[in-house]
């Protein structure tokens, strides 16, 4: 899937705004940081401003191009975290709202063990168990009416599921929590725009008319639970992790 960096920044800026609270877990002294799934680079930039040396990586060329344009002189690279190699492991692996796009976390955490120094930190937040359950259910129902089935591109784990994965890959848990984070989506078309951006892999095989049918159907079925008078609210649930690589 290729990302629309402009739409992301205009309509989904909440992604990096919420992510800013994760910065509180960074070390106080300057650290080398790999920002995994950096998107358009806002959090990488904030970490640079705090005095850290940051490399932002993302698989989307559009996102990285936009990050480079906004923050010239800062380091960004189009690369997949699963295959990224470095001779210099980082003090901190950081990631906000990205790791749910990677379904194989066994491989991911085994890779992370190589990318972070012994004693270094893995700080992240992404979708936890039950994330966007209402949206997904409504979307699935609409697709089924067209004879299609929903293919989830996501991994939304619980803490119980994730702790053994961390430990099996040499990470000691310092903080592991799940919480509901209902998330406002901008304007009357907020839910529609969100679906177009994030469920594009399921929508792209449909004609434009069928896509609109699905989008309108989802809006109608979520009107009661997710429309809050002037905006849509997505039923986000987060898993937040701070773990240290054992020495």
Closest distance of CB 118 from ligand BEZ, Å: 30
Closest distance of CB 244 from ligand BEZ, Å: 25
Whole-angstrom distance, CA of residue 172 vs CA of residue 122: 10
Closest distance of CB 7 from ligand BEZ, Å: 13
Burial zone of 2 (CB within 10 Å; 0-12 exposed, 13-18 middle, 19+ buried):
exposed
Closest distance of CB 29 from ligand BEZ, Å: 30
Site track for ligand BEZ across 114-153, x = CB under 6 A: -------------x---xx---------------------
Q: Quick check: 246 and 174 in contact, CB under 8 A?
A: no
Q: State yes or no: residue 198 binds ligand BEZ (CB under 6 A).
A: yes
Distance of CA 219 to the CA centre of its chain: 23
With respect to ligand BEZ, which residue has the nearer C-beta, 31 or 185? 185
Listed in sequence order, the residues at least 6 apart from 232 whose beta carbon sits closer than 8 Å to its beta carbon are 184, 185, 190, 191, 194, 222, 226
Choose, by CB under 6 A, the member of 45, 52, 100, 240 that binds ligand BEZ.
100
CA atoms within 13 A on the CB side of 93: 31
Closest CA to 236 of 8, 3, 19, 10: 19
Choose, by CB under 6 A, the member of 31, 47, 97, 226 that binds ligand BEZ.
97
With respect to ligand BEZ, which residue has the nearer C-beta, 31 or 191? 191
With respect to ligand BEZ, which residue has the nearer C-beta, 113 or 183? 183
Closest distance of CB 202 from ligand BEZ, Å: 11
Whole-angstrom distance, CA of residue 158 vs CA of residue 69: 37
Site track for ligand BEZ across 206-225, x = CB under 6 A: --------------------
Q: Quick check: 125 and 241 in contact, CB under 8 A?
A: yes
Binding site residues, ligand BEZ, CB under 6 A = 97, 100, 127, 131-132, 154, 198, 236
């Amino acid at each position: 899937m290729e990302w629309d960096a402009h739409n992301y920044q205009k309509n989904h800026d909440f992604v990096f705004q919420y992510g800013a609270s994760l910065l509180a877990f960074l070390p106080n002294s300057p650290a080398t940081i790999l920002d995994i799934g950096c998107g358009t680079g806002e959090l990488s930039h904030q970490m640079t401003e705090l005095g850290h040396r940051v490399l932002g990586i993302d698989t989307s060329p559009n996102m990285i191009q936009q990050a480079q344009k906004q923050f010239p002189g800062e380091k960004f690279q189009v690369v997949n975290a699963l295959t990224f190699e470095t001779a210099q492991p980082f003090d901190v692996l950081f990631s906000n709202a990205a790791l749910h796009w990677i379904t194989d976390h066994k491989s991911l955490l085994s890779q992370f063990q190589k990318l972070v120094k012994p004693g270094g930190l893995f700080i992240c937040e992404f979708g936890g168990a039950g994330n966007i359950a209402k949206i997904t259910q409504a979307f699935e129902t609409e697709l089924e009416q067209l004879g299609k089935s929903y293919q989830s591109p996501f991994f939304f784990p619980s803490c119980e599921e994730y702790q053994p994965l961390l430990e099996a890959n040499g990470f000691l848990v310092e903080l592991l929590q799940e919480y509901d984070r209902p998330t406002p989506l901008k304007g009357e078309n907020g839910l529609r725009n969100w679906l177009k951006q994030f469920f594009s892999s399921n929508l792209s095989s449909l004609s434009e008319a069928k896509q609109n049918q699905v989008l309108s159907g989802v809006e109608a079925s979520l009107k009661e639970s997710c429309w809050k008078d002037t905006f849509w609210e997505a039923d986000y649930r987060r898993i937040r992790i701070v773990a240290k690589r054992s020495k």
